[in-house]
Structure 1
Amino acid sequence: MSSAHSPTSPTRRTGLIVLSAFALVVGFLLAVPQRGFATEPNPSPSVHTPAIAKPVPGKRTSTGAPANTDPVTYHGGPVQDAPQVYVVWWGSQWSSGNNDPKKELFLQAYFLDSLYGAGDNWSTSATQYCSGIPTGSKDCSHAATFVGHPNSSPRVGQWDDESAAAPQSPTQGDIAAEAVKAAQYFGASGTNVQIIIDTPPGVVPSGFKTQYCAWHSVTSLPDNSQITYTNFPYIPDAGATCGAGSVPVGSTGVNADNEGVTIVGGHEYAETLTDPGAWSGWTDDTQNGETADKCAWTNMGIVTLNSNRYAVQPLWSNNANSGSGGCVKYYNSAASQG
């Protein structure tokens, strides 16, 4: 997974390979690492911690309602109307030994590549939310910009950055710096960008497994534009704490050991659509939760997305239950709930 290619301009996309599901199947896992950047993170980046919290042992439920049924409301910031996901495999550890024992990278790619078009009615829950309306609004009847639902895979870039080892316990600043480096490599910036920083097995970002499973935040590029990025540790390392074995007994079609990859990954993807600015989009004023926080660890199950089956959690919908709100695993314009 390493590369001997020479550095290129940070504004160019040279060496960027967008991997299809077929390419993953045949093992075409090459993306050119960029070397030699020296960038600094935002000195005090806003962080959403925890975006998906560690469940209390013995308290996780496979069915049930969220802690409260207050709607999410709009707080004046942007939403993602054309989401673009860039995935970064951070650290030379990815190429040593049994570097992905639970096949997280494959599953993550397949999952992201399934979040598009008519075959996905799970992430469509986010499309009821918008920007350009008065702060405090609960619906989007007069919206300027709605959350977008892609017509093809939202995963538009992949980078295997093995220019150095990832720190054994990276801080938020370390992860933000890698996100800035990745944004420069891809030539990506703006509200619609999501950069996912995948850390290798055995690397434990500060707080992982004890305080959170993953989180998303924003940081600034040198030109003062902002990007949204996700700290995505090696989720199977956390076992049941971060989702392994969460789907009710009797469900089929997924590997229990890595169910958390799509439960947690879907959580972060959906929240970044509706709140890319981290607390400036759609949140619940009472419990300060985003659309996935309100339904975390409840009624988890299997959904079929473009003919592939994945473990997911439901997402909060203000429109569900005739406008009284609720957690939904599938959604359409008629506010279907399941």
Structure 2
Amino acid sequence: MRIRALHTAVLAAFALGAALLPTSAQAGVGTGTHFGVKPLAHGVHAAVTATSSSTLSVDSSASQGVVSPTPKVYLVFWGSQWKNDPAGVAPDMQAMFKGLYGSQDTWGTILDQYCEGVAAGTVTCGTKGIHVNHPTSTPLAGVWFDNGSAEPADATATQLGAEAAKAAKHFGNTTQAPNLNAQYVIVSPTGTHPDGFPDSGFCGWHDVTSSSYGNLAYTNLPYVPDMGAGACTTLTDGRMLSGIESTETHEYAETVTDFWPSIGWNGGDGEIGDACVDMDAYVKLSTGTFDLQGLWSNAANACVTKG
């Protein structure tokens, strides 16, 4: 499910790829609007059938903020509570991204078909535009345990966006240029409820916030294992980390293809992961085997787990 409710003026600013959001505004904050929302419950584990409404098209002709051509992931483990990590989320997330590149990563190659700098309404980039590049080395660009104080028990979306800006400063990404590819994954510790998780009904979401360092793409990634085995995944073997892996791969892919939502790639069923929440598969990478959620491929006209 993806909620589309950005104000027309904000979309126009994004489409120009130049102006920052007003400093008092944050897309998705204060309106209940977020993007790339992976629902906590997605019903019967049914096969996904290709439909014409699932086809993705680009919502803007902009050459910035539509996709992330060279994805860089910054994992931010927020709060002093990370001294307690019962499911081993921190090492798992690092291992997953350390292996999400190269020839062994056939899942990530699904993203290569999408691009920016083409006419709005485009469904097939071909050789046109600036494409997402499949990483030839790990997309994990930085890891930060921001443990100087505790994360609020019920962090708001505004606080999550502020943490993304704090992370941008920490990693030295203090101009718009490096933040055209950086995505800040704010991983909350066990026992916390960022933006109302789990009562808000989501596994995670991504969004964009304005800052003095430019527009920042960021993800709210709660401690999904707190919900128990089987939450946020269609796999039923009881593995505790599957749900958070599925959630983060959903959000990662949607951030890459709809970087400053929602001027990127969207269809009638939402972003690249939204039509495919009932498809999970274990994929073996060089650093281990992980639960990666299926993604929509225009080229295959289907949800797939391999490019």
Class of the TM-score when normalised by the shorter of the 2 chains: 0.7 to 0.9
Other structure's SS at 2:279 match: coil
1:1-338 correspondence runs (5 A): 42-47=23-28, 48-49=34-35, 51-56=37-42, 59-61=43-45, 63-65=47-49, 69-76=53-60, 77=62, 78-95=66-83, 99-188=84-173, 189-210=178-199, 211-223=201-213, 225-239=214-228, 242-243=231-232, 246-248=234-236, 256-284=239-267, 286-287=268-269, 289-296=270-277, 298-306=278-286, 308-320=288-300, 325-331=301-307
CA contact (8 A) 2:76 2:186 kept: yes
Q: TM-score, normalized by length of structure 2?
A: 0.83
Separation in 2, partners of 1:51, 1:66: 20
Larger Rg: 1
Partners of 1:91 and 1:67 lie apart in 2 by: 43
Q: Which has the higher strand share?
A: 2
- Aligned twin of 2:8: none
CA distance in 1, matches of 2:184, 2:285: 22
Q: Structure 1 residue 49: deviation in Å?
A: 4.2
**Distance in 2 (alpha carbons) for counterparts of 1:68 and 1:153:** 34
Q: Deviations over 1:196-215 (max 9, x none)?
A: 11111001112312321111
Q: Alpha-carbon deviation of 1:240?
A: 5.1
Q: Any idea what the Cα deviations from partners look like across 1:143-180, whole Å, max 9, x if unmatched?
A: 22001111111001111111211100000000001110
Partners of 1:165 and 1:307 in 2: how far apart?
Answer: 30
- Contact kept, 8 Å, 1:62 with 1:247, in 2: the verdict is no
Native 8 Å contact 2:188 2:221 kept in 1: yes
Contact 1:62 1:248 (8 Å CA) reproduced: no
- Shift in CA distance, 171/66, structure 1 to aligned 2, threshold 3 Å: farther
Give, in whole Å, the separation in 1 of the partners of 2:104 and 2:231.
27
Partner Cα separation in structure 1 for residue 279 and residue 147 of structure 2:
38
Shift of 1:104: 0.8
Deviation by residue 1:266-317 (Cα, 9 ceiling, x = unmatched): 1011111101101110001x23x10001111x23221122362111221000
Structure 2 CA distance for partners of 1:242 and 1:45, relative to 1, 3 Å: farther
Tell me how many residue pairs correspond in the alignment: 272
**Contact preservation (8 Å) 1:303, 1:312:** yes
Aligned to 1:11: none
- Over residues 107-135 of structure 1, what are the superposed CA-to-partner deviations in whole Å (9 max), with x where a residue is unaligned? 11111111101110101101100011100
Contact 1:303/1:309, CA 8 A, preserved across alignment: yes
RMSD between aligned residues: 2.0
Q: Contact between 1:170 and 1:204, CA under 8 Å: does it hold in 2?
A: yes
Between 1:122-131 and 1:203-212, the stretch displaced more is 203-212
CA distance in 2, matches of 1:259, 1:62: 18
- CA change 1:291–1:262 in 2 (3 A) is same
1 CA distance for matches of 2:287 and 2:146?
A: 31
For residue 255 of structure 2, give the secondary structure of its aligned residue in structure 1: helix
State the AA in 2 paired with 1:278: P
- Partner secondary structure for residue 242 of structure 1: coil
Please give the alpha-carbon distance, in whole angstroms, between the structure 1 residues aligned to 2:229 and 2:266: 27
Between the aligned partners of 1:73 and 1:65, the Cα distance in structure 2 is 19
* C-alpha deviation, 1:42, in angstroms: 4.8
TM-score (norm 1): 0.76
Letter in 1 for 2:193: V
Question: Whole-Å Cα distance in 2 between the matches of residues 52 and 60 of structure 1?
Answer: 15
Letter in 2 for 1:217: D
Shift of 1:241: 6.7
2:7 corresponds in structure 1 to none
**Alignment partner of 1:264: what SS?**
helix
Instruction: Give 1:220 deviation, angstroms.
Output: 1.6
2:119 partner amino acid: P
Structure 1 unmatched ranges of 5 or more = 1-40, 250-254, 332-338
> How many Å apart are 1:239 and its aligned residue?
2.5
Amino acid at match of 2:282: I
Name the SS of the counterpart of 1:108 in structure 2: helix
User: SS in structure 1 opposite 2:218?
Assistant: strand
